[in-house]
């Protein structure tokens, strides 16, 4: 025959506790404690949110103030610029005039000075009788040679010279080569007037862009 023995543990020296409250009251207290903790947590979240919102508001106000300052500064600068509008207009007109001068004088040659240099190359017994000049302009391109050995040109000088003796044409042509802007030159005719004994030489000379006066060219 078997025997069932219920073991009972006896705690010696322990603090005796007896909870006589019903379980419902214990549950209610626990719920209240949880509720208070949740309330504290919600209040903490609200405090954090309010602090963040306050900081954002302060930053927005500072940004708005800075924007107003910059807008006021911009309005001030625009007002100052308006006082110099006439100066800018004059500067624009001057720039336009300078540009027009550079374009208008881009093909200018000081013919008085240049023909003086041509005259200086003449042999002692030769004098220039007639001169004809055909030159480029800013609005038209000067006709260029079709022969391969002829140089680029921006002007043509056709002149006749007279002499009581037969002039040394090759030496004269060599002297013309020393002129600035010289491209090429060749005699077109040499004639002798049997009645007067006067020799007439016709020469056509081409000049390149090195002869330009460049009065209004701005140095860089």
Per-residue pLDDT, 213: 78
Q: What is the third-level CATH fold of 111-211?
A: Alpha-Beta Plaits (3.30.70)
Per-residue pLDDT, 131: 92
Closest CA to 182 of 155, 159, 202: 155
What is the three-class DSSP state of 150? coil
pLDDT confidence bin for 179, thresholds 50/70/90: very high
What value does the mean pLDDT take over residues 1-27?
A: 54
Length of the chain counted residue by residue: 220
Domain ranges for the chain, please list them: 21-105, 111-211
What is the three-class DSSP state of 193? strand
Long-range contacts of 127-130 (CB under 8 A, 24+ apart): 127/161, 127/162, 127/163, 128/159, 128/160, 128/161, 129/159, 129/160, 129/161, 129/162, 129/200, 130/159, 130/160
Per-residue pLDDT, 108: 80
pLDDT confidence bin for 116, thresholds 50/70/90: very high
- Judge whether residue 171 has pLDDT over 80: yes
pLDDT per position as a tens digit, 119-140: 999 888 888 889 999 887 777 7
């Amino acid at each position: 025959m078997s025997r069932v023995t219920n073991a009972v543990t006896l705690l010696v020296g322990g603090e005796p506790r007896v909870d006589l409250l019903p379980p419902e009251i214990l549950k209610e207290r626990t719920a209240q404690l949880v509720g208070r903790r949740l309330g504290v947590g919600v209040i903490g979240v609200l405090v954090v949110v309010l602090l963040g919102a306050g900081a954002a508001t302060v930053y927005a106000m500072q940004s708005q103030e800075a924007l107003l300052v910059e807008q006021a500064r911009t309005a001030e600068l625009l007002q100052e610029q308006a006082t110099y509008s006439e100066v800018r207009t004059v500067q624009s007109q001057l720039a336009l005039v300078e540009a027009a001068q550079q374009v208008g004088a881009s093909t200018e040659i000081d013919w008085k000075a240049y023909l003086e240099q041509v005259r200086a190359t003449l042999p002692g017994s030769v004098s220039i009788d007639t001169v004809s000049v055909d030159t480029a302009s800013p609005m038209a391109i000067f006709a260029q040679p079709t022969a391969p050995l002829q140089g680029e040109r921006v002007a043509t000088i056709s002149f006749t010279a007279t002499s009581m003796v037969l002039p040394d044409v090759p030496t004269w042509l060599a002297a013309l080569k020393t002129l600035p802007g010289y491209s090429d030159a060749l005699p077109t005719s040499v004639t002798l007037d049997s009645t007067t004994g006067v020799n007439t030489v016709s020469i056509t000379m081409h000049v390149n862009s090195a002869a330009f006066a460049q009065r209004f060219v701005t140095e860089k």
